[in-house]
């Protein structure tokens, strides 16, 4: 990858804890904010981001931390936050990826919305934080838009489990299930 391409990708990544990075907000023109872990990135994520981008000019992703994944999802991330940020920032439809620290309460998400000042907060139908997101949006005069239905049986969790059940490389390229005899496998 050329240095110019890599720099343009890295320029999309913002560290929430860095005041200088966050000084770029609010972005000019209509901004759409989405949030999530995006670990492992899959077609449902792409479809969600594409639908969200149609709501405005700038698509901002609030990317959860590795600790958040461990605490809330009860598993280690497949890709660390930096890797996930690079994957997302490499998508042409993404304008900014905000790498979040480990937020532990709703006030921190309110502060995120106050700092980024999106016009739209995009969600999927059935979002379990919908009430909080509506309150956050209301504070800054934004609106919450349901951009798509939840796609059944398409989640990072189901993909990880399918891979585990099929003895596919998971979590670390070194952890490969190898046969040890009599149909028994082990991670090496």
What are the tens digits of pLDDT across the range 5-14? 999 999 999 9
- Report whether CATH 3.40.50.620 matches the domain 3-152: yes
Residue 167 pLDDT class (50, 70, 90 cuts): low
Q: 0.85 cut: is pTM over it?
A: no
Q: At what angle do helices 3-10 and 81-89 cross, to 10 degrees?
A: 110
Residue-level pLDDT at 184: 46
pLDDT in tens, 52-82: 999 999 999 999 999 999 999 898 999 999 9
Q: What residues does each domain of the chain span? A: 3-152, 155-188
Residue 2 pLDDT class (50, 70, 90 cuts): confident
pLDDT in tens, 128-144: 899 999 999 999 999 99
Exposure string over 38-77, b if 16+ CB within 10 A, otherwise e: bbbbeebbebbbebbbebbebbbbbbbbbebbeeeeeeeb
- From 104-113, 121-130, 138-147, 171-180, the region with the lowest mean pLDDT: 171-180
User: What is the arithmetic mean of pLDDT over 102-117?
Assistant: 96
Residue-level pLDDT at 40: 85
């Amino acid at each position: 990858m050329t240095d110019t391409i890599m720099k343009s990708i890295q320029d999309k990544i913002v560290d929430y804890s860095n005041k200088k990075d966050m000084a770029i907000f609010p972005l000019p023109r209509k901004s759409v904010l989405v949030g999530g872990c995006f670990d492992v990135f899959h077609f449902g994520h792409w479809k969600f981001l594409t639908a969200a981008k149609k709501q405005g000019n700038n698509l901002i992703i609030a990317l959860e931390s590795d600790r958040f994944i461990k605490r809330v999802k009860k598993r280690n991330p497949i890709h660390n936050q930096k890797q996930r940020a690079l994957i997302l920032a490499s998508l042409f439809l993404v304008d900014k990826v905000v790498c979040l620290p480990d937020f532990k309460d709703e006030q921190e998400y309110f502060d995120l919305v106050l700092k980024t000042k999106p016009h739209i907060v995009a969600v999927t139908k059935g979002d379990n934080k919908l009430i909080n997101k509506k309150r956050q949006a209301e504070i800054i005069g934004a609106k919450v838009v349901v951009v798509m239905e939840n796609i059944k049986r398409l989640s990072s969790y189901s993909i990880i489990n399918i891979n585990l059940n099929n003895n596919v490389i998971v979590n670390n390229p070194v952890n490969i299930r190898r046969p040890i005899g009599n149909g028994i496998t082990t991670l090496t």
